[in-house]
């Protein structure tokens, strides 16, 4: 068995449970799937000895206190918590109706400030990004957090470039992840960096994760970015669009599928979704193209065809207009390559 990488995860009262246990499970499975060649040693560090009550009510046992963390740390992982009155960083409003707010625990911040410089890698999960920012680790960097607290992070730390869209962002040795289940994607990316994409994919399969999402992907897929409509037939149509981006999705074809006139269909679709059929289809096709650019080495003409954008020229034009980049630049930035 190779030497284990030491992962220290901060735990403190009302910490989000999955932010702790999700990455821990990924690291454990990496060791199992590699038959011990990619070992991780996970330790839970808290402000005091004993049990810590998480936001879910489940208690976690602390392995060591903050003061007892000495020696080399490979990965320092910092989850988050929200202020009392909010039901977690899941978009549920707090007591004041303003939505959840990340809690800034000064004891945790001080510990992160002290430990981070000696750690090889520092990562935050969900609203843990607010703790990294409070510790000064995100100054001048691009970072993400749970979508519901992104505005708070940007307002509290204008020196941080907050991007509320990606699943995770890497900036040097600092990684920030979105919430809540995105903690699994972030941990898989850390495994891929350490031991290669093949092992990360093997772990994802064991977790029965439908898709190992890359950092450039949105926290929301296009169908999830708008709530269910009041019409089942529109929701069924949106599913059809998502599953067949390379099909004929013209307004005429979609109207015919709905058995409506093209004019009436366009009016109903906009009323139910808040956007036009053409804009919705383009967003779905762009998402499909992004997945192909991030997860495959397929030539651009194949990416354009499979995503429904049709031509390389249209692929270029769409990425330039919607994301301000080119397919090649996007792939270079977000394609995850195999490690050693």
Q: Token pair 């995100």 is at which residue?
A: 138
Q: What are the tokens at 116?
A: 């981070």
Phi, psi (degrees; rounded to nearest 5) at 149: -115, 10
Given a contact cutoff of 8 angstroms between Cβ atoms, the answer to whether 85 and 112 are in contact is no
Given a contact cutoff of 8 angstroms between Cβ atoms, the answer to whether 76 and 95 are in contact is no
Structural domain boundaries in the chain: 5-206, 222-340
Q: Token pair 């903050």 is at which residue?
A: 66
259 CB-near residues (< 8 Å, 6+ apart): none
pLDDT < 70 positions in the chain: 1-2, 85-98, 210-229, 333-340
- Measured at the alpha carbon of residue 128, what is the angle toward residues 20 and 227, in degrees to the nearest 5? 90
DSSP state at residue 149 = G
Q: Token pair 């967003």 is at which residue?
A: 283
Q: What percent of the chain has pLDDT over 90?
A: 63
Torsion of Cα atoms, 88 then 89 then 90 then 92, to 10°: 60
Given a contact cutoff of 8 angstroms between Cβ atoms, the answer to whether 78 and 23 are in contact is no
Given a contact cutoff of 8 angstroms between Cβ atoms, the answer to whether 203 and 189 are in contact is no
3-class DSSP state of 206: helix
Distance CA 77, CA 183 (A): 10
Residue of 14, 73, 17 whose CA lies nearest to 43: 73
72 CB-near residues (< 8 Å, 6+ apart): 6, 118, 120
Given a contact cutoff of 8 angstroms between Cβ atoms, the answer to whether 114 and 136 are in contact is no
Q: Which listed CATH number (3.20.20.140, 3.30.420.270, 3.40.190.10, 1.10.10.60) goes with 222-340?
A: 1.10.10.60
Bond prior to 70 in cis (omega within 30° of 0): no
Helices 197-206 and 17-33 pack at an angle, to 10 degrees, of 120
Distance CA 264, CA 321 (A): 29
Distance CA 337, CA 182 (A): 20
3-class DSSP state of 248: coil
* CATH topology match: 5-206 vs 222-340: no
Q: What are the tokens at 38?
A: 């990619």
Given a contact cutoff of 8 angstroms between Cβ atoms, the answer to whether 257 and 237 are in contact is yes
Q: Which listed CATH number (3.40.50.720, 1.20.20.10, 3.40.1190.20, 3.40.50.880) goes with 5-206?
A: 3.40.50.880
Torsion of Cα atoms, 196 then 199 then 202 then 206, to 10°: -120
Distance CA 259, CA 151 (A): 42
pLDDT of residue 235: 86
- Measured at the alpha carbon of residue 166, what is the angle toward residues 289 and 42, in degrees to the nearest 5? 120
Q: What are the tokens at 264?
A: 């009436």
State the Rg of the chain over Cα: 22
**What string of H, E and C letters represents the secondary structure of 289-310?**
HHHHHHHCCCCHHHHHHHHCCC
Distance CA 184, CA 172 (A): 20
Cβ count near 264 (within 10 Å):
11
């Amino acid at each position: 068995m190779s030497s284990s990488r030491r992962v220290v995860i901060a735990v403190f009262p009302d910490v989000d449970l999955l932010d702790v246990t999700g990455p821990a499970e990924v690291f454990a499975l990496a060791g199992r799937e590699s038959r011990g060649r990619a070992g991780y040693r996970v330790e839970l560090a808290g402000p005091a000895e004993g049990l810590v009550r998480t936001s879910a009510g489940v208690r976690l046992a602390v392995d060591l206190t903050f003061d007892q963390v000495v020696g080399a740390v490979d990965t320092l992982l910092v989850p988050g918590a929200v202020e009392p009155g909010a039901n977690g960083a899941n978009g549920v409003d707090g007591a004041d109706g303003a939505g959840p707010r990340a809690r800034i625990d000064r004891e945790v911040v001080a510990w992160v400030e002290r430990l981070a410089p000696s750690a090889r890698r520092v990562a935050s999960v969900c609203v843990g990004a607010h703790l990294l920012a409070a510790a000064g680790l995100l100054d001048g960097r691009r970072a993400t957090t749970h979508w519901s607290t992104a505005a708070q992070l940007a307002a509290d730390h204008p020196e941080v470039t907050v991007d509320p869209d990606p699943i995770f962002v890497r900036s040097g040795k600092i990684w920030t992840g979105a919430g809540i289940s995105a903690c699994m994607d972030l941990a898989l990316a850390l495994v891929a960096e350490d031991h290669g994409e093949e092992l990360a994919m093997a772990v994802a399969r064991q977790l029965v994760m439908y898709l190992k999402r890359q950092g450039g992907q949105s926290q929301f897929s296009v169908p999830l970015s708008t709530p269910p409509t009041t019409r089942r037939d529109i929701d069924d149509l949106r599913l059809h669009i998502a599953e067949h981006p390379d099909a004929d999705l013209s307004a005429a074809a979609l109207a015919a599928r709905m058995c409506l006139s093209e004019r009436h269909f366009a009016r109903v679709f906009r009323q139910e979704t808040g956007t036009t059929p053409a804009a919705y289809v383009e967003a779905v096709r762009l998402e499909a193209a992004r997945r192909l650019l991030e997860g495959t080495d397929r030539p651009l003409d194949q990416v354009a065809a499979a995503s429904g954008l049709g031509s390389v020229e249209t692929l270029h034009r769409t990425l330039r207009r919607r994301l301000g980049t080119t397919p090649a630049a996007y792939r270079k930035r977000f394609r995850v390559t195999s490690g050693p």
